[in-house]
Structure 1
Amino acid sequence: MTRPASADPCLQAVERPPLPGPQSVRVVEVLATGTNGGAQEHLYTLLTRIDRSRYDVSVVSLSPGSAVRKLQREGIAVAVIDDPDDAIAVGALAAHLAILRPDVIHNHMYRAELVGTRAAIALGIIGHRRPYVVSTVHSSRVRSAEDREQLRRLTPHMDQLIAVSQAMERKIVEEGRSGAPVKLIYNGVDIERYEHQEPCCTLRDEYGMEPGAQIVGVVARLEPEKGHPTLLEAWPQVLRKVPDAYLLVVGEGSKRSELEQQARDLRIAHRVVFTGRRDDVPAVTAALDVAVLPSYREAQGLTILEAMALSRPVVASNVGGIPEVIEDGVTGLLVPPHDAEALAAAIVRLLTDHAWADTIARAGHDLVHDRFCVELMVKEIEAIYDAGARAVRLSGVAAG
């Protein structure tokens, strides 16, 4: 359904009341790890689309990695505090913040929440201006009782929590984190980046795939929660129906050698390609016939949003925030987690009914454009930064 421009949240203007003091809001983003993942891609999208004339943004990463280098290539200042000892990391971050004097710090992922919030507390204790503390809950990972207790104790020292899905809102409540307000802000996709993306034209030659063969792909870290074993278990069933299909496994992680061995044990290694990390994921995704995310847990599933933005039909597990993105049979297909038979059937259906797959893909594309555009995400986060800067500047706390 076409909406009038005035009703499109991606096109609506946001009123910006004047800030007390300097009009530029200084923000430090604290990232738990510098390796690639959904949170890192979210931060990259945010910082490359934020109004840099109004927001003076920099990043502190608690480890090095490819995501750090990617941000630096965009001219974004990134400091790395590479120490596994949380106490040392807190001290180093507090010293860094004392120099920068940010209005807002924005934590991304669990360790960043711990280190970033404690550093902000430390600033207040030693007489510096305490920044407004924002934390985004990106992950649905199951935490230990000790981890949950640490988060519960620290949450009252946070000023704003952001959940990337309704599922993450529920998780915050379940973990007893009642000490800070929560706002739902879905991850946004840069539609312009994907709208005119050409498929990777060398993909078949790179991996020896014959012309005309259909390609199913999963883009995800090779970690236990991403569900790759179920997808590999499903693949022999797919090949019985579509014998020329290839499975493309894009990403790196701790389980790669185990997954490669599983493919050999299932005698499907000749039809499964492990690409490792790729810097051209949008082009690779655009070359897929079907995109899959077989996760056992998932906060939202940014890679399926990206596939939908590229008009690729998607199959994903019915877990976490994924059902908020996919309406089964309309914008994609949902299957139970750990169910190889259901996963295989869904993939085969999309590979063999091309007209229906195209209909699904178009509906998915329209949904992303309407509900998950990057402009809306950025505007909502900018509004939080403005509110934080206003609160800090009006608090009357003297800077050190």
Structure 2
Amino acid sequence: MTILHIEAGKNLYGGAKQVAYLIEELQKRGTNNILICPINSEIAKVCKPFCIVEEIQMSGDLDISMIFRIKKIIKFHNANIVHVHSRRGADIMGMVAAKLSKTPVVLSRRVDNPEPKLWAKFKYSFYDHIVTISEAIRNVLISEGVKSEKITTVYSAVDSSIYDKPCSKTYFLQEFKLPENTKTIGVIAQLIPRKGHKYLLQIVPDIIKIFPNLHILFFGKGPIKNELEDIIKTKNLQNNVHMIGFRDDLLQWIGCLDLVVHPALMEGLGVSLLQAAAAGVPIIASPFGGMPEIVHNNVNGFLVDPHDSKTLFEKISLLLNDQNLSIKFGKAGKEIVKSKFSIESMVDGNLSIYKKVLS
């Protein structure tokens, strides 16, 4: 079986990381893999030991010529299935190229934002099967008129073994220039409006009155960076809130955090939540999208509507105060990840879909 994967992301996080996990494990199981990705992307470097990598120009939703570049590669490698893993034009162009090549095409959908019903019903009718990374996303598609039998949920995965290890608190404090006896909250997300950073910043002045040694680290980059920095300055929070940027060495540090807060308004699943749970860090997330499929309320964290400032403040204060509860939640999170979000389970799920499509 030869699977041709299409991933348009240049950085190795989120969906691109899942594709890398999938290709490596499929190769171990005897499946041939081809990866189409942008020129000089991180995923190309990581996947070259496990598959043939075809780096091409991928210029987004209006790059019609992408169809013919992809079609040529499909025909050259005689792929049995095309698996489109991302948007940025790859979803439509990859699907059209597969159809022109008379090759079955599978789409992975990783976001839960709704689409117009008529468009969704039309668009998804061309795919032989759709993989969603959470039941929440699957339900969105069904509500838009996509046939339920064409959609299967296969959870994103995390390699829990690389996160389940002791963290050097001393090294962590030195790396991020933090004082001793510091409590830390991590927010691990792109700096975009729907990730909800502003909701946390609204209550930080009240939290640091109780926990003056609290430091909040914003991991990630994005278009609202300057806007968030202005809020931090306006509220005089520069000593307690730090813009860290994107870190590709997050696995070294995430286990040192006392708490991960993810006040997102929308989230297909949330790989950063999987990473935090795997590292044994308690989580406060929103009750939207696929987040409740990772964060079980009062089991490995709390689910709080980010608009509810009072409850968000209370739950953050509780976990910063109660070390025993934090340890309990951390242990539960590790078990949830191992039981539902392993790489083996993710690969099994995708393989079963390939076989179903080919049959």
Normalised by the size of structure 1, how large is the TM-score? 0.83
1:46 maps to 22
Question: Where in structure 2 are there 5+ consecutive unaligned residues?
Answer: none
One-letter identity of the residue aligned with 1:48: E
Alpha-carbon distance in structure 2 between the residues aligned to 1:338 and 1:36? 31
1:135 maps to 107
CA contact (8 A) 2:81 2:104 kept: yes
Q: Secondary structure at the match of 2:75?
A: helix
1:366 maps to 335
Alpha-carbon distance in structure 1 between the residues aligned to 2:354 and 2:24? 16
CA contact (8 A) 2:184 2:259 kept: yes
1:119 maps to 97
Alpha-carbon distance in structure 2 between the residues aligned to 1:67 and 1:338? 36
Deviates more, 1:320-329 or 1:290-299: 320-329
% identical aligned pairs:
23
Deviates more, 1:52-61 or 1:260-269: 52-61
Say which of 27, 51, 58 aligns to 1:82.
58
Say which of 81, 84, 87 aligns to 1:104.
81
Structure 1 199/187 Cα, relative in aligned 2: closer, same or farther at 3 Å?
A: farther
Alpha-carbon distance in structure 1 between the residues aligned to 2:310 and 2:105? 45
Structure 1 92/180 Cα, relative in aligned 2: closer, same or farther at 3 Å?
A: farther
Residue 353 of structure 1 and its aligned partner are, at CA, apart by 0.5
1:380 maps to 349
Q: Greater relative contact order: 1 or 2 (C-alpha under 8 angstroms, separation 6 or more)?
A: 1
1:337 corresponds to 2:306: yes
Alpha-carbon distance in structure 2 between the residues aligned to 1:192 and 1:183? 27
CA contact (8 A) 1:62 1:81 kept: yes
CA contact (8 A) 2:40 2:55 kept: no
Q: Secondary structure at the match of 1:113?
A: helix
Residue 337 of structure 1 and its aligned partner are, at CA, apart by 2.8
Q: Secondary structure at the match of 1:120?
A: helix
Question: Where in structure 1 are there 5+ consecutive unaligned residues?
Answer: 1-24, 124-129, 392-400
Please give the root-mean-square deviation of Cα atoms over the aligned residues, in Å.
Answer: 2.2
Residue 206 of structure 1 and its aligned partner are, at CA, apart by 2.9
2:157 maps to 188
Normalised by the size of structure 2, how large is the TM-score? 0.92
Structure 1 98/60 Cα, relative in aligned 2: closer, same or farther at 3 Å?
A: same
1:290 maps to 259
One-letter identity of the residue aligned with 2:104: Y
Residue 151 of structure 1 and its aligned partner are, at CA, apart by 4.0
Q: Secondary structure at the match of 2:72?
A: helix
Alpha-carbon distance in structure 2 between the residues aligned to 1:157 and 1:226? 31
Alpha-carbon distance in structure 1 between the residues aligned to 2:41 and 2:310? 37
Alpha-carbon distance in structure 2 between the residues aligned to 1:35 and 1:253? 13
